[in-house]
Amino acid sequence: MRDDPGMHNALCEQLGIDVPIFAFSHCRDVVAAVTKAGGMGVLGAVAHSPKGLEIDLAWIDNEVGDLPYGVDLLLPVKFNDDGAKRTEPTDAKDLFPPAHTAFINGMLEQYDVPALPPDLAARGGRMSVSPEAAGTLLDVALTHPIRLFASALGPPPEDFIRKAHEQGAVVAALAGTAAHARRHKDAGVDLIVAQGTEAGGHTGTVSTLVLVPEVVQAVAPTPVLAAGGIVKGSQIAAAMALGAAGVWCGSVWLTTEEAETHPAVKQKMLTASSSDTVRSRSLTGKPARMLRTPWTDAWEAEGAPAPLGMPLQTMLVAEAQQRIGRSAHNEGTGANDLATYFVGQGVGLMDRIRPTRQVVEEMVQEYLQVAEMFAAQVAD
């Protein structure tokens, strides 16, 4: 693939990759597989503890050798300071309004979701979103040969950028509007990810088709990656035609063989259409696209409490999500009905389980077919 002039570009040369396919995933196996297939795997670290991140990065180092990979940290501009600091299970429940707790308990009772076994303690939802927590994870990552650091939900702090640059790493940041992208560029970010509303996880309201050229124009000559609903090579070709230097994909990896996606949720994704997702604050407190299920519907229903801010909402629903996850594999149960996860509208194109390497290879092959078709049209 390195000899292909149609896909291997200046950004590939800068980062030492064969194809400009960047794969965001919370699964280290996916990250390593994409990197070994010629793209760049990027590990989402928001749910990691420092110890857990060290373990996963050491494993990736061993798997990929000298090949480049990245780490993504969640750095929102706004979050609940009190909730970010008070994360101990002994006092976390004191942060939740009784109405919210009652609402969740009522939903679990309505759908007959079993309680956790007595010997299994409930795990509090962990999201390292405060500057202090993200800084600790950054320090861990900096002890590894990370080639790219990405910041989601906000412009990375000056210290974050400085430390990454001192290591020789590129700094990327996700943007849902041209204004966000300009702020990232002004902050010193090297690579802008223009993420359209079609994307899974935290996302804005502007479509990828509109957002990408708008961001490309706003931050030129800073390179831009297109994100949001991109699952196929033809979509990569479209993104490049819009001026992107590559693509940032997340959802497409959720149905790969290596993905750690809950089996019940993975099955839902394989049969879902693009209309089966919704932007909801029900899991994190910020708008995030996920599978639409009775869980998301309940939070939008009349009389439902408004989701709490980040990270309190994640902490609030953690035990409920743990209970749902333990029983969701049983089809026909309430837990199976409620089960959801972050995924973009591209889920309608994700209809089979494949090895991660095969996904990358098929993306490249389809991109080349489209490029050849355009070249032939120009020649004629």
The mean per-residue pLDDT over the stretch 315-342 comes to 96
Q: Percentage of residues in the chain with pLDDT exceeding 90?
A: 81
At 53, is the pLDDT very low, low, confident or very high (cuts 50, 70, 90)? very high
d(CA 175, CA 277) in angstroms, rounded, equals 21
Q: What pLDDT, on the 0 to 100 scale, is given for residue 153?
A: 74
| Tokens found for residue 153 | 């939900």
| Tokens found for residue 186 | 């002004």
Q: Is the pLDDT of residue 3 over 80?
A: no
CB-CB neighbours of 3 under 10 Å: 6
Q: Is the pLDDT of residue 242 over 90?
A: yes
pTM: predicted TM-score of the whole model, two decimal places: 0.92
CATH number for the domain spanning 205: value is 3.20.20.70
Backbone angles phi, psi at 192, to 5 degrees: -105, 130
Q: Is the pLDDT of residue 200 over 60?
A: yes
Domain range for 202 is: 1-380
Q: What pLDDT, on the 0 to 100 scale, is given for residue 4?
A: 53
Which of 266, 295, 256, 260 is CA-nearest to residue 278? 295
At 128, is the pLDDT very low, low, confident or very high (cuts 50, 70, 90)? very low
Higher pLDDT, 7 or 148: 148
Q: What pLDDT, on the 0 to 100 scale, is given for residue 46?
A: 85
At 130, is the pLDDT very low, low, confident or very high (cuts 50, 70, 90)? low
Give the single-character DSSP code of 342: B
| Whether 344 contacts 251, CB under 8 Å | yes
The mean per-residue pLDDT over the stretch 297-318 comes to 95
Helical axes 28-36 vs 50-64, angle rounded to 10°: 30
| Tokens found for residue 121 | 């303690």
d(CA 67, CA 228) in angstroms, rounded, equals 26
The mean per-residue pLDDT over the stretch 215-238 comes to 98
Characterise 327 by phi-psi region: left (phi > 0), alpha (psi -120 to 50), beta (else). Answer: alpha
Per the structure, how many domains does the chain have?
1
For the stretch 298-304, contacts whose Cβ atoms lie closer than 8 Å and that sit 24 or more positions apart, written own/partner, are 298/103, 298/107, 304/103
Element (H, E) at 321: helix 312-327
Q: In Å, what is the CA distance from 377 to each residue of 5, 7, 373?
A: 18, 19, 6
How is 175-224 classified by DSSP, letter by letter? Answer: ESSHHHHHHHHHHT-SEEEEE-TTSSEE--SS-HHHHHHHHHHHHTTS-E
The mean per-residue pLDDT over the stretch 286-312 comes to 96
Q: What pLDDT, on the 0 to 100 scale, is given for residue 47?
A: 86
pLDDT tens by residue, 247-276: 999 999 999 999 999 999 999 999 999 999
Task: Please report, to the nearest 10 degrees, the dihedral formed by the alpha carbons of residues 192, 197, 198, 200 taken in order.
Answer: 80
Q: What pLDDT, on the 0 to 100 scale, is given for residue 120?
A: 77
| Tokens found for residue 221 | 């000559």
| Whether 73 contacts 149, CB under 8 Å | yes
pLDDT tens by residue, 61-107: 999 999 999 999 976 554 444 444 434 444 556 789 999 999 999 99
At 28, is the pLDDT very low, low, confident or very high (cuts 50, 70, 90)? very high
If you average pLDDT over every residue of the chain, what do you get? 91
Q: Is the pLDDT of residue 131 over 70?
A: no
Q: Percentage of residues in the chain with pLDDT exceeding 70?
A: 89
Q: Is the pLDDT of residue 129 over 60?
A: no
The mean per-residue pLDDT over the stretch 145-165 comes to 90
d(CA 200, CA 287) in angstroms, rounded, equals 10
The mean per-residue pLDDT over the stretch 95-120 comes to 94
